[in-house]
């Protein structure tokens, strides 16, 4: 179909509208993604103006970087002492034995610790996610829809606070020991879980729903006739799952594993939250925390950063990219074609036996209660005096003090306004760039449009701390003294980090919408003499507006709960810090009475926003939408 008013490049059907969209996408992606990350790569491989691997030699020569065999032991029993007040008021020292899990090791060094944690988080999340997805996709039972909703609760982001709560529950004088040791006398010794095992536990509880959702979507879309044919040939039980269901679910498994791997490597919420609960420890010896701490320490200027930190950042980027490519490559080597297209007309859902039903209820109840405890604890912490109670570790009264502080405390209220301003402005840019990029990929004939698609979606595979370090290097070096200087105006840069980091959520939603709009509708408009811009605004845009809205809502709530870039850049000018920066300060950097409960109140605010976004997206798009939309 010939499009009117195209003056040049007829072969590629390029007009001023396409040129304008291309210029916008190219400018934003180049200035706020390619150049910052490229500057980090150059900084890591250049020494005294010449190509060099000196910083990498310094990194790998650090005795704390790689420790093989690892130092310490996973489990260690020690005798500690605590004060107890007798009825007559006398203080006495009471000896007690404590089983420490993770506090004394294992320590592989901060390079291998992150890989160790990411591997086990991915492995355990995969096990829980696949089992849960299989139950929800293949069995029908009373309360299934309720469990469908409850399994989404662990995905409600409460940065830092959830890790702090888990740390307090698992601590030596925490809730777990109070119940099992002090009251029920089930445990002969007190138990404390910290270090790397605590990080693995916290991340698994947060991330396993990602794999569950992706595998569940893959399983419900499997052609039922394939499994029925296998059963006719004698395949039953685990054999059927191994040779039919599992292979056809691998695309969903891969999508979930990629996200879990990257989220685990970049996570700062767990180490910072555990630092608030336990202080210094092995939970801090992770790549993401080491990079964050080094740049947080160098507030006076970028020259104060230890140079090997650049190599450490590139090493993290390499691990994330390698994992991303390896999993995607493995999946691409296999074929998953089915006989049907779209959603099957019927599904293989059956009722379990009585014993099976009991097993399902026990598994799901334990999983939901355990995985949702951080969100429940955050709510309790925000509405009671729990943070102020040491012994017993239980709340004694309800209070609205901390929730009211969100509007009465000027510093907290300013942080909320900052988040709304940064996220709201970022959403406008995301809508412009995401819609333009998706339209170029779906409708234009320009060469290299696959590259545009790659750069629009690749931020999901780049750890946030890498983006933050890239911005610090690039803008501090080339925009010093300007509005874009991270030391003068980090809030402005946060808008662009949110734009880049959350762009994939909107762009993929818009692209899906464009695939559902048949090209013939646009061709009719062109045949009547309409320009491409007119067709876009009057035909295409109204048809995909719901996709834009749904994707933008997800991008908005993810921007509001953005951690890595927010806390790294905001440390340069705390007055411009958003909600997550204020939460990190309350957990990690201050000792003010009630500060943890204020952070919990901010966590409740974030959860409310996320629930509203999911509900509105589900209503607008008329389909099940979650906080993992890519």
SS3 category, 215 = helix
**Backbone dihedral region for residue 143 (phi beyond 0: left; psi -120 to 50: alpha; all else: beta):** left
Query: Is 267 or 528 the better-scoring residue by pLDDT?
Result: 267
> Is pLDDT above 50 for 629?
no
> Is pLDDT above 70 for 345?
no
Tens of pLDDT, residues 441-461: 988 888 888 889 889 988 988
- Whole-angstrom Cα distance, residue 533 to residue 245? 46
Do residues 324 and 58 make contact, with C-beta atoms less than 8 angstroms apart? no
The per-residue pLDDT of the chain, averaged, comes to 86
Name the CATH superfamily for 111-392.
MetI-like (1.10.3720.10)
Per-residue pLDDT, 630: 37
Per-residue pLDDT, 593: 56
Kindly state the helix (H) or strand (E) to which residue 584 belongs, with its residue range.
helix 579-584
CA atoms within 13 A on the CB side of 142: 4
Q: Read off the pLDDT band of 621 (50, 70, 90).
A: low
Tens of pLDDT, residues 538-581: 989 998 888 888 888 888 988 999 999 999 999 888 999 999 99
Q: Which whole number is the average pLDDT over 368-390?
A: 86
Instruction: Please state the domain extents for the chain.
Output: 16-52+404-621, 111-392
Please state the φ and ψ torsions of residue 429, each to the nearest 5 degrees: -65, -40
CATH fold of the domain at 16-52+404-621: MetI-like fold (1.10.3720)
- Alpha helix (H) residue ranges in 444-489: 449-457, 464-478
- B/e letters for 586-606, b = 16+ CB within 10 Å, e = fewer, are bbbbeeeebbbbbbbbbbbbb
Which range (328-332, 449-453, 603-607) has the least confidence? 328-332
Q: Which whole number is the average pLDDT over 217-223?
A: 83
Judge whether 16-52+404-621 and 111-392 match in fold: yes
Q: Which whole number is the average pLDDT over 184-200?
A: 91
């Amino acid at each position: 179909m010939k499009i009117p008013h195209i003056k040049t490049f007829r072969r590629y059907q390029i007009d001023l509208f396409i040129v304008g969209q291309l210029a916008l996408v190219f400018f934003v992606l180049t200035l706020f993604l390619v150049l910052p990350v490229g500057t980090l790569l150059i900084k890591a491989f250049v020494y005294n103006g010449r190509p060099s691997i000196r910083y990498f030699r310094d990194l790998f020569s650090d005795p704390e970087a790689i420790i093989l065999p690892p130092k310490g032991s996973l489990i260690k029993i020690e005798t500690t002492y605590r004060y107890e007040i007798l009825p007559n008021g006398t203080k006495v020292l009471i000896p007690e034995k404590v089983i420490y899990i993770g506090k004394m090791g294992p320590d592989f060094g901060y390079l291998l610790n992150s890989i160790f944690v990411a591997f086990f988080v991915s492995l355990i999340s995969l096990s829980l996610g696949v089992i849960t997805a299989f139950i929800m996709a293949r069995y029908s039972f009373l309360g299934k829809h309720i469990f469908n909703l409850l399994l989404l609760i662990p995905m409600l982001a409460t940065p830092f606070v959830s890790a702090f709560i888990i740390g307090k529950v698992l601590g030596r004088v925490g809730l777990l020991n109070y119940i099992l040791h002090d009251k029920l006398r089930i445990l002969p010794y007190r138990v404390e879980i910290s270090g790397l095992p605590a990080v693995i536990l916290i991340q698994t509880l947060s991330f396993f729903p990602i794999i569950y959702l992706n595998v569940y979507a893959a399983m419900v879309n499997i052609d039922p006739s394939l499994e029925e044919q296998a059963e006719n040939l004698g395949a039953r039980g685990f054999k059927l799952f191994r040779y039919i269901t599992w292979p056809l679910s691998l695309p969903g498994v891969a999508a979930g594993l990629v996200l879990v791997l990257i989220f685990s490597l970049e996570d700062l919420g767990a180490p910072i939250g555990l630092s608030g609960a336990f202080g210094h420890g092995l939970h801090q010896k992770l790549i993401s925390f080491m990079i964050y701490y080094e740049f947080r320490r160098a507030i006076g200027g970028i020259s104060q950063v230890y140079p090997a930190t650049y190599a450490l950042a590139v090493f993290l980027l390499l691990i994330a990219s390698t994992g991303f490519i390896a999993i995607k490559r493995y999946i691409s080597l296999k074929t998953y074609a089915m006989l049907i297209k779209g959603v099957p007309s019927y599904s293989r859902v059956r009722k379990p036996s009585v014993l099976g039903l009991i097993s399902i209820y026990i598994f799901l109840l334990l999983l939901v209660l355990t995985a949702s405890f951080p969100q429940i604890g955050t709510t309790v912490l925000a509405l009671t005096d729990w943070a102020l109670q040491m012994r017993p570790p239980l709340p004694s009264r309800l209070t609205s003090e901390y929730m009211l502080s969100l509007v009465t405390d000027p510093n907290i209220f300013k942080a909320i306004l900052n988040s709304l301003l940064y996220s709201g402005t970022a959403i406008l840019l995301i809508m412009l760039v995401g819609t333009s990029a998706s339209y170029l990929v779906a409708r234009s004939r320009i060469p290299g449009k696959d590259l545009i698609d790659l750069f629009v979606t690749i931020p999901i595979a780049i750890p946030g701390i890498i983006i933050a370090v890239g911005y610090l290097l690039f803008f501090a070096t080339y925009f010093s003294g300007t509005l874009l200087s991270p030391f003068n105006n980090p809030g402005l840069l946060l808008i662009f980090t949110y734009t880049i980091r959350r762009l994939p959520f909107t762009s993929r939603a818009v692209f899906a919408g464009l695939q559902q709009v048949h090209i013939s509708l646009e061709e009719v408009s062109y045949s009547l003499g309409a320009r491409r811009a007119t067709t876009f605004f009057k035909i295409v845009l109204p048809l995909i507006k719901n996709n834009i809205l749904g994707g933008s809502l997800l991008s908005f709530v993810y921007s509001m709960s953005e951690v890595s870039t927010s806390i790294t850049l905001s440390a340069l000018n705390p007055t411009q810090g958003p909600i997550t920066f204020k939460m990190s300060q309350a957990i990690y950097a201050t000792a003010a009475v009630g500060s943890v409960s204020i952070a919990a109140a901010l966590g409740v605010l974030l959860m409310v926003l996320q629930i509203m976004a999911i509900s509105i997206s589900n209503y607008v798009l008329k389909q099940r939408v979650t906080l993992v939309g890519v």
